[in-house]
Amino acid sequence: MTATRRTLTPTDLAPYARTLGHTLDGVTRLRGGSKKGVYRLTFRDRSTAVAYVWSPDEDLWDAGPADPRHPFSHASGLTLFTAAAHRLAAAGVRAPRLLHADPTHTHLPADVALVEDLPGGTLEDLLDGDAVVETGVLERTAALLDTLHACTGPRFGKVAVVDNGGSSYGGSCEAVVAERALSDLDELPGRDPRAAAAYPQLAEAIGVLAAQVQPRTGPPTLIHGELGPDHVRVTPGGDLALIDIEGLMYFDVEWEHVFLRQRLGRHYDALRTGDAVGLDEARLRLYRLATHLSLVAGPLRLLDVGDFHDPEFMRGIAEHHLGLALSFLENAS
């Protein structure tokens, strides 16, 4: 982690423009990118590309589980990105086209990828207006999910590990989620007296919910892993593309749907089409509580760094999901 991020300059990024045969005219840091630096490169001919820069100076998060086979190990890096880009292309799901990948650290002490700069905004930009209905973008998002989730893998784990023949982490998806939920919960009593008071009940709830999940015999599903509306680009022509794809993995599809439901709110029902049929309610309950706890611990952890561009926003997320976790106990009693 780092406490201060240095914004890269045209001098830093000019060599990467030359790899595409362009002369760099300007650089703009784009919003977000808490695990990597995201920069729009504007070339002299007015065309553009986006640079992803993975370096310790750009990463505000801790490393997460150390074992790279763990599905929730740190979702950052060129290797994860390129593997995910290739898998999505094979699945017929669009992501920004990879233009150049440089793992050599020749010009910067970082892995760098250049990708196409997709015009337009995100699905999140459209949710509060009439355009989300008028353009049919939710229906197209549902179709994208059906395409993505129709793909499966031989075992659960990050695509970069599984597709390259890496060994299995072991256990089950629900066991990994319960383990992570307990780990997140362990961080909270020292941060908030409400979490400290509810700790025994929350720990018990995780165990009870995990015990209610029946073993699954089918293969794990290809999921984005953190699919909020801010991670779906919508071009002016209505095409959809997934971004921030480093966490792409084979896992329970319920994990994706819990996150989608929390992020989309009242718009989520429009996505309950083909791949949402037959979701396991026991998994959904466990994953819902686990996600609440993750969205308390994660933002508070990020705020420890002190360099996030909107700390009040992160505090709001943590407060909201702590309330939901506590309400979960009330509703379960």
| Average pLDDT over every residue of 205-218 | 96
pLDDT given for residue 275 in this prediction: 59
- Of the candidate CATH numbers 3.90.1200.10, 3.40.50.2300, 3.40.50.2000, 3.90.550.10, the domain formed by 10-332 belongs to 3.90.1200.10
Q: Are 81 and 100 in contact (CB under 8 A)?
A: no
pLDDT given for residue 90 in this prediction: 97
Q: How many CA atoms lie within 13 A of 162 on its CB side?
A: 23
Q: What whole-number distance in Å separates Cα of residue 330 and Cα of residue 96?
A: 43
Other Cβ atoms within 10 Å of 106 Cβ, number = 9
Could you tell me the sign of the dihedral formed by the alpha carbons of 16, 26, 86, 79, in that order? positive
Question: Average model confidence (pLDDT) for the chain?
Answer: 91
Residue 223 pLDDT exceeds 70:
yes
Q: What whole-number distance in Å separates Cα of residue 207 and Cα of residue 249?
A: 25
At residue 49, the 3 state secondary structure works out as: strand
47-81, pLDDT tens digit by residue? Answer: 999 999 998 888 877 656 668 888 998 888 999 99
162-179, pLDDT tens digit by residue? Answer: 999 988 888 999 999 999
Kindly indicate the confidence band of residue 331, based on its pLDDT and cuts at 50, 70 and 90.
confident
Residue with more model confidence, 227 or 68 = 227
pLDDT given for residue 170 in this prediction: 85
DSSP letter at 57 equals G
DSSP, residue by residue, 65-98: -S-TTSTTS---SHHHHHHHHHHHHHHT---PPE
Q: Where are the domains of the chain?
A: 10-332
Residue 120 pLDDT exceeds 80:
yes
Task: Classify 171 in phi/psi space as left (phi over 0), alpha (psi -120 to 50) or beta.
Answer: left
| Average pLDDT over every residue of 308-331 | 90
